Chains A and B, each alone.
Chain A
Amino acid sequence: MAALRDEVNVLVVGAGAAGAAFTWRLASMGVAVTCLEQGEWQSPESSLTALENWESKRLRERSPNPNIRRNAADYPILDDTSIIKPAIFNGVGGSTILWSAHTPRFRPSDFRVKSLDGVGADWPISYWDLAEYYEINDEIMGTSGQHGDPGNPPRTPRTTPPVPLGLAGSRIADALNDLKWHWWPSDGNILTLDRGSRKACNGCGPCEMGCANGARASVDITYWPEALALGAELRTGATVRRVLVDATGRATGVEWIDPTGQEHVTHANVVVMACNGVGTPRILLNSVSKEHPRGLGNSSDQLGRNLMLHPIPVVTGVFDEDVQSWSGNDAFALLIQEFYENDESRDFKRGYEMQVTRGQGPLVTALGGFSHDIPWGLGHHEAFEKFFGHVATVAVTCEDLPHPNNRVTIDPSVTDRCGVPAARMSYELEENSKKMIKHGVKSATALLVKAGARETHAKPFAPSAGFHLMGTARMGSNPKDSFVNQACRSHDVPNLLVIDGSVFASAGAVNPTPTLQAVALRAADLLREDALV
């Protein structure tokens, strides 16, 4: 069957957080833009949280691990070489379909880790270049929170008030005030008041299965409807196999497969990769040619390297009081950044944040939640009753430093439904992370004890928490040690952009999505400003 051919102007690959923001921004400037997405639209009901057996679905159809979920749009990610397993979603909305929508921002120092603290790599841009874009993104996604946090540069008033602390959160806030540790109500892309067709959060719990009432933003209900109304085109069921180049080394478009197996070639003036920190290097590494034998744009050999994931140690506290820990959005209410910045008196570089998680139903509790073990057998029911509703878990997001051997590669021995090689994640904890984890566990334990926890249970890292995928096509000024420049354009291939978390030069110690969306919005503006589209 011959390939079907067509031609577009700007071609974005991936309709997740970054691809949606970028497409919307260009469309709002009147630029013709087309996005190819391998998955399909998701309905609000697809969260499955209205079913009696919803917790079973959480382990299966709504698992964040694509190797467990195995939907038609999922591609294999080999993870036996990584202690942290991947957590993503493939479909319109990308991983925001399953995310928790906790949206703290990078701090200014995060962009200057090499200059300030002698580790990792600096970004060629600063917080100040992104501040305006964070604001635009907050507005479109809809952001609850409270402005005035002295722990961060100023921001505008938030869309709605913050999510409620809950009973455990209130105890922990009291404890933080006693300890004089800095905390602030978290920013989150979860509405606490109705906004248009999106309803206010009703505290149902499992945001990570999707939000049936639209309180929790995902880009399929925020950016995409607006982008399409502005004339952007979105093609679903379009699995991109590789990016094509001509003899001069410029990108000419992509080769993709539709669900019937039909091959297509779509030519474009500009190709923009937004498949996330694993998907983007996977496709670019698969785009080998005479001119680009190590993968497209990979003369630096940086493509796929420096994978940063944020190791997340977790400590669960058990309270005598029933704090109803099954209620409330699952991942955050307050943000603790007391140990965020570098402190030379500690035995590790850089720092971490802590957030308080909840929303564990009966089954997840019985299976041990984040960090406790519930015995099977005779002691099971008693232990279950002790834990269920009585716990709060502090998750410690540790800044990860880039290491060339922590990386994404491809493995042609395993392929997806379209014959594209599987991605392989290789990831180990660095010494710095191990020391930071120890410190973080100690702080989280002290906090929970101060909050009245009768006992605490710690895990050094959550193995399933591979959802912050950063660094695998990093941004930098020097083409020898980075993949894209400050405008997200490949050093080697001028009309190839990468706009997702792959471009992060450092990881910060916060969830990455608002930052990667701000980067994507800025990249769209620069493309327009430089009259490239």
Chain B
Amino acid sequence: MSTLLDRFTNDLLPGNDHWPAASEIEVGAVMQELASTDSEQKSLFDRLLDFLENHKERLALGETLEAEDSELFVFAKVLAFEAYYINPKVREVVARRSMYANRPPQPAGFLVVTRRVSPWNEGEILWRSDGTERSGEVLIEQKKDPKKTWTVEEIRQWRR
């Protein structure tokens, strides 16, 4: 069975000079482990194994499953990708081939590289009056001095 799963997952995630093929990092076994945590997933996984067994003569297992049972295919694809992309070896490749720092998000976090850009419009008031007197008053005040620093006390006065 594992060779069938290997064939199927290699169809989805074949290897090349940089990336390991799914079978090289035992994606099939990890898929089984992931699916075993949930009864619904487990029964879908069993269905996948049955399907592969029943179609083992076919050359292209990925294509066959996608054509014949698209729902099961989506389940299997997501599970295979999950198993593949959480693998440390794959994440090392991701880091080598991009600027990604290969570590979990926490506790170190990531530096957010940025530039400072200011909005082109810092003055012209753009919100629309709701037709109340209060809107009119606030619009006039805000137009007079768009950059004014307002206090909670002033804002409290707006309440009816």
Where the two chains meet, the residues of A that have a C-beta atom closer than 8 Å to any C-beta of B are: 47, 49-56, 59-60, 70, 107-109, 111-112, 115-116, 126-129, 131-132, 135-136, 147-148, 150-157, 163-167, 169-170, 173-174, 176-177, 180, 182-185, 201-206, 212-213, 322, 324, 326-328, 337, 341-342, 361-363, 366-367, 376-378, 380-381, 385, 388-389
Distance of B72 from chain A, by nearest CB (Å): 14
**In the complex the two chains form, what is the Cα distance from A159 to B13 in whole Å?**
47
Residues on B with beta carbons closer than 8 Å to the beta carbon of A381: 16, 18-19
**In the complex the two chains form, what is the Cα distance from A202 to B110 in whole Å?**
6
Q: A205-B110, A363-B85 are in contact. Are A131 and B155 (CB under 8 A)?
A: yes
Which of A147, A183, A203 neighbours the largest number of chain B CB atoms within 10 Å of its CB?
Answer: A203
Complex contact A362–B91 (CB within 8 A): yes
Complex contact A131–B158 (CB within 8 A): yes
CB closest chain-B residue, reference A59: B82
**In the complex the two chains form, what is the Cα distance from A131 to B106 in whole Å?**
36
Complex contact A177–B119 (CB within 8 A): yes
Q: A54-B104, A150-B125 are in contact. Are A135 and B130 (CB under 8 A)?
A: no
Distance of B99 from chain A, by nearest CB (Å): 5
> B115 at interface (Cβ–Cβ under 8 A)?
yes
Complex contact A156–B106 (CB within 8 A): no
Complex contact A108–B106 (CB within 8 A): no
What are some 18 contacts across the A-B interface (CB < 8 A)?
Answer: A56-B86, A59-B78, A147-B149, A152-B127, A154-B138, A169-B114, A174-B117, A203-B109, A204-B105, A205-B105, A322-B98, A322-B99, A361-B105, A362-B85, A363-B82, A377-B11, A377-B12, A389-B98
Residues on B with beta carbons closer than 8 Å to the beta carbon of A152: 127
Distance of B71 from chain A, by nearest CB (Å): 14
Q: A132-B152, A148-B122, A156-B152 are in contact. Are A212 and B127 (CB under 8 A)?
A: no
Complex contact A55–B85 (CB within 8 A): yes
> B58 at interface (Cβ–Cβ under 8 A)?
no
Complex contact A362–B131 (CB within 8 A): no
Complex contact B12–A376 (CB within 8 A): yes
Complex contact A153–B138 (CB within 8 A): yes
The 9 closest A-B pairs by CB, nearest first: A202-B109, A204-B105, A327-B110, A108-B130, A173-B117, A164-B114, A363-B85, A170-B115, A203-B112
Complex contact B126–A376 (CB within 8 A): no
CB closest chain-A residue, reference B157: A132
Contact among A107, A366, A367, A378 with B14 in the assembled complex (CB-CB below 8 Å): A378
Complex contact B128–A129 (CB within 8 A): no
CB closest chain-B residue, reference A376: B12
**In the complex the two chains form, what is the Cα distance from A129 to B108 in whole Å?**
42
* Interface size of B in residues (CB-CB distance below 8 Å): 71
> B77 at interface (Cβ–Cβ under 8 A)?
yes
Complex contact B37–A60 (CB within 8 A): yes
Q: Chain B 116-160 against A: per-residue CB contact (8 Å), 1 yes, 0 no? A: 110111111111111110110010011000111111100110111
Q: A53-B86, A169-B114, A202-B109 are in contact. Are A362 and B134 (CB under 8 A)?
A: no
| Other A-B pairs beyond A49-B104, A132-B155, A182-B121, 4, CB < 8 Å | A116-B128, A154-B142, A177-B117, A202-B108
Complex contact B128–A341 (CB within 8 A): yes
CB closest chain-B residue, reference A525: B159
**In the complex the two chains form, what is the Cα distance from A152 to B120 in whole Å?**
16
Complex contact A337–B13 (CB within 8 A): no
Residues on B with beta carbons closer than 8 Å to the beta carbon of A342: 128
**In the complex the two chains form, what is the Cα distance from A166 to B111 in whole Å?**
10
Where the two chains meet, the residues of B that have a C-beta atom closer than 8 Å to any C-beta of A are: 11-14, 16, 18-19, 34, 37-38, 62, 77-78, 81-82, 84-86, 88, 90-91, 94, 97-100, 104-117, 119-132, 134-135, 138, 141-142, 146-152, 155-156, 158-160
Residues on B with beta carbons closer than 8 Å to the beta carbon of A363: 81-82, 85-86
**In the complex the two chains form, what is the Cα distance from A402 to B145 in whole Å?**
37
Contact among B100, B125, B155 with A362 in the assembled complex (CB-CB below 8 Å): B100
Residues on A with beta carbons closer than 8 Å to the beta carbon of B120: 176-177, 180
Contact among A111, A126, A151, A204 with B110 in the assembled complex (CB-CB below 8 Å): A204
Complex contact B158–A166 (CB within 8 A): no
**In the complex the two chains form, what is the Cα distance from A201 to B156 in whole Å?**
31
Complex contact A154–B86 (CB within 8 A): no
Complex contact B127–A108 (CB within 8 A): yes
Distance of A421 from chain B, by nearest CB (Å): 21
Residues on B with beta carbons closer than 8 Å to the beta carbon of A324: 99-100, 110, 112-113
**In the complex the two chains form, what is the Cα distance from A213 to B109 in whole Å?**
10
Complex contact A182–B119 (CB within 8 A): yes
**In the complex the two chains form, what is the Cα distance from A53 to B155 in whole Å?**
47
Residues on A with beta carbons closer than 8 Å to the beta carbon of B107: 50, 212-213
CB closest chain-A residue, reference B77: A376
Q: A108-B130, A376-B62 are in contact. Are A56 and B152 (CB under 8 A)?
A: no
Residues on B with beta carbons closer than 8 Å to the beta carbon of A389: 98-100
Complex contact A165–B117 (CB within 8 A): yes
Q: A108-B130, A129-B160, A167-B115 are in contact. Are A388 and B105 (CB under 8 A)?
A: no
